[in-house]
Amino acid sequence: MGKLDGRVVLVTGAARGQGEQEARLFAEEGARVVVADVLDEQGEALAKEIGALYVRLDVGCEDDWEAAVAAVRETHGHIDGLVNNAGILRFHSLLDTPLDEFMEVVRVNQVGCFLGIRTVGRAMADGGTIVNTASCTGLTGMAAVGAYSASKHAIVGLTRVAALELAGRGIRVNAVCPGAVDTPMSNPVPAGGEGGEETARAVERLYRRLVPLGRMGTAQEVARLALFLSCEDSSYVTGQPFVIDGGWLAGLNVV
Ligand code: NAD
């Protein structure tokens, strides 16, 4: 018996990184997964490998959401789960952030999450689950990522409100708040790329110093938390942000 047998779950930003691992784990646990992304080649290849449906879905686009949900209904007849995982990160101090960049981050991270909750929430079977991907920076500040942090705080707010509004239908809504996780977002030099090894070593040194558990998290570890929040194991859990950060937010360490 898989933990998601019979359930249809759409994962956004599933072509790589955390979304990819969520799609893989959910398929292993019996879900019929819908891989959604704007990276068509990678998304289609993954979907083929794990027996999923691929849909091109720019999460900031209302029409894309309507088309994606229609495609899921046509293929599977129902939808039971959503993981709002797609996101982008941009680095600038607030005083140097161009408005276009701020709006781009809000469009993907915050509006994308809102449209996902709204479109899938309307179509979803009672008893469904929604997992939103916030961040540690949705609960605390971090210099140089102001637009990102603001959008992730907004996702925590959306999570709480959606949990209140959808509880009557037995739909549970929670958020994952990862710290530093080893994906292309946090380590953008591709493996084997120029300077890649050096960057990877510098990143490793940094997180050994910053994170109490002494390392970055893996996408698989985040996927296991998303699975917990998407299955019956968390049947009495809704409206909460769940930090997964190796102890980073636990407090200051002065010794
Ligand atoms: P990633 O860059 O590897 O993956 C992000 C995925 O989202 C990509 O496949 C990308 O194509 C997709 N995407 C981007 N814009 C999109 C759009 N408009 N529509 C649809 N898909 C889009 O990054 P990741 O680390 O796997 O990030 C996954 C989520 O986790 C993001 O929301 C990110 O903010 C969050 N997060 C990551 C970390 C980390 O350290 N990696 C920490 C905290 C939170």
Taken in order of first residue, the domains within the chain and their CATH numbers are 8-181+217-245 (3.40.50.720), 186-215 (no CATH)
At 198 the pLDDT is: 87
At 191 the pLDDT is: 65
SS3 at position 187: coil
Report yes or no: 222 and 178 within 8 Å, Cβ to Cβ. yes
Residue with the smallest CA separation from ligand 1 atom 8 is 13
Please write down the HEC assignment for all residues of 204-226. HHHHHHHCCCCCCECHHHHHHHH
Report yes or no: 178 and 217 within 8 Å, Cβ to Cβ. yes
At 201 the pLDDT is: 87
Strands 32-37 and 241-244: unpaired
Among candidate residues 125, 135, 221, the one with its CA nearest the CA of residue 176: 135
Report yes or no: 19 and 85 within 8 Å, Cβ to Cβ. yes
Which ligand 1 atom sits closest to the C-alpha of 178?
A: 43
Ligand 1 mutation target, pool 183, 244, 249, most atoms within 8 A of CB? 183
Among candidate residues 9, 12, 13, the one with its CA nearest the CA of residue 26: 9
Ligand 1 cavity residues, CB under 6 Å: 12-13, 15-19, 37-39, 57-60, 85-89, 108, 133, 135, 178, 180-181, 183-186
Residues labelled as active-site residues: 148
What is the rounded distance in angstroms from the CA atom of residue 52 to the CA atom of residue 198?
Answer: 36
Tokens of 28: 């292993």
At 162 the pLDDT is: 99
Beta bridge partners of 175: 132, 241
Structural Rg of the chain based on CA atoms: 18
Ligand 1 mutation target, pool 11, 12, 18, 249, most atoms within 8 A of CB? 18
Tokens of 119: 């479109």
Total residue length of the chain: 255
At 233 the pLDDT is: 98
At 194 the pLDDT is: 78
Q: What's the half-sphere exposure (Cβ side, CA atoms, 13 Å) at 157?
A: 10
Residue with the smallest CA separation from ligand 1 atom 12 is 13
Contacts of residue 122, defined as CB under 8 A and 6 or more positions apart, other chains included, come to none
H helical segments located in the chain: 17-28, 40-50, 62-76, 99-105, 112-123, 146-166, 196-210, 219-230
Q: Which residues of the chain have pLDDT under 70?
A: 188, 190-191
